[in-house]
């Protein structure tokens, strides 16, 4: 019983706290833009399945917390299901005065705005968290100067030398040596372009970090890029840098761009045979990581929330029916054709999307439990 309580408090509670905030913000994006466009909203739910707690507001929307806290939805009046698939029979039986307020009767551009609002809300949440942390805490940094180049390493072969000052990697500004390490570590077996200054002269080098397996502080194996440089650090090298409000905006946008680009590159690795399936994570792995990060403090957990929010926003934009990106794909086709796709085509797409999303969930859960915990296929 003690072990179960410890597991619950250490992993499940932080995971559900993080996920609930992300889901609420995502669905609130849909809800607010739908309200601004005069759409009648039937349900706002955090979670799926049986309702645990619920109430009706003055606009007739049912707000509910459901039993399965692994997502959520906004359901509009006239929808067949939580995926916002229209129900022709239901719309025919509704009062005529309600017709202008139905989601299906709004213009295609209004529907696009409503659907896109969820992922955009996730991106905005990420921006505000990263921006607030940057302004409130600043960042500790050390000069981006190479201390030593290991003999026979990727760095030596590429021409890096001790004393080189790193300026940027793949166009991302390097403000400290920790930036250089991070940009390299997130590019295993992928070519990167390094801009540096040597003896007052600017130079550009191209290198491909070697993919290696390392163990983090929690005992998890991570696949990262390594080039073979070190930086000897003492207390005088470490400084706290606090950007101004305007500079912090640019730094935050650059960080978000970096996360999106590296996420896309990570997914792209699977199409060229460089991907490692053990690095994919589902609900179990996210819960485990949330619990581990929670031990580092509330700031670290909030930072993880920002990262997960951005990744959920990106995932939802994939052109897969059942996801927001699938709806956007349908509506963009409608905008081009001048009329929507047939209900039959949309229904086939939703079934395919549901099967694909379900298969991905099953695979990631299996990957989280079997591959990660029992060492199968290692």
Rg (alpha carbons) of the chain, rounded to whole number: 24
Cα–Cα nearest to 324, from 71, 140, 101: 71
Residue with tokens 């029979």: 89
Residue 42 in contact with residue 77, Cβ under 8 Å? yes
Using CA atoms, how far apart are residues 77 and 45, in angstroms rounded to an integer? 14
Question: What phi and psi values does residue 148 have, to the nearest 5 degrees?
Answer: -145, 140
Residue 51: Cβ within 10 Å count: 13
247 belongs to the catalytic site? no
Beta pairing partners, 163: none
Using CA atoms, how far apart are residues 284 and 339, in angstroms rounded to an integer? 42
Residue 225 in contact with residue 187, Cβ under 8 Å? yes
Question: Which of 27, 89, 247, 254 is the catalytic position?
Answer: 27
Cα–Cα nearest to 295, from 9, 4, 2: 9
List residues with catalytic annotation.
27
């Amino acid at each position: 019983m003690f072990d179960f309580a410890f597991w619950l408090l250490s992993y499940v509670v932080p995971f559900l706290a993080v996920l609930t905030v992300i889901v609420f913000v995502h669905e609130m994006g849909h809800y607010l833009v739908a309200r601004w466009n005069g759409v009648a909203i039937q349900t706002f739910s955090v979670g799926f399945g049986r309702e645990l707690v619920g109430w009706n507001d003055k606009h007739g929307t049912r707000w509910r917390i459901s039993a399965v806290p692994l997502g959520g939805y906004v359901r509009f009046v006239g929808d067949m299901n939580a995926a916002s698939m229209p129900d022709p029979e239901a719309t025919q039986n509704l009062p005529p005065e309600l017709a202008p307020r139905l989601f299906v009767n709004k213009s295609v551009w209004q529907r696009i705005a409503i659907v896109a609002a969820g992922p955009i809300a996730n991106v905005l949440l990420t921006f505000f968290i990263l921006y607030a942390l940057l302004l409130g805490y600043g960042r500790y940094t050390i000069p981006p100067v190479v201390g030593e180049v290991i003999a026979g390493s990727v760095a030596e072969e590429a021409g890096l030398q001790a004393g080189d000052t790193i300026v940027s990697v793949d166009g991302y500004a390097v403000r400290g040596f920790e930036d250089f390490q991070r940009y390299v570590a997130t590019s295993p077996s992928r070519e990167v372009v390094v801009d540096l200054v040597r003896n007052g002269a600017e130079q550009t080098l191209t290198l491909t970090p070697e993919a290696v397996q390392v163990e983090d502080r929690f005992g998890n194996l991570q696949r990262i890029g390594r080039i073979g440089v070190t930086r000897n650090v003492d207390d005088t090298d470490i400084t706290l840098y606090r950007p101004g409000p305007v500079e912090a905006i640019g730094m935050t946008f650059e960080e978000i761009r970096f996360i999106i680009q590296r996420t896309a590159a990570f997914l792209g690795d699977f199409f060229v045979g460089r991907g490692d399936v053990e690095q994919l994570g589902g609900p179990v792995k996210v819960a485990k990581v949330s619990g581990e990060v929670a031990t580092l403090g509330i700031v670290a957990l909030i930072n993880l929330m920002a990262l997960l929010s951005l990744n959920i926003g990106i995932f939802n934009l994939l052109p897969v029916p059942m996801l927001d990106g699938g709806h956007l794909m349908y509506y963009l086709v409608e905008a081009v054709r001048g009329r929507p796709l047939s209900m039959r085509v949309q229904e086939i797409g939703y079934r395919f999307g549901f099967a694909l999303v379900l298969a991905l969930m099953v695979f990631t859960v299996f990957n989280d439990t079997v591959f990660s915990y029992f060492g199968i296929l290692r």
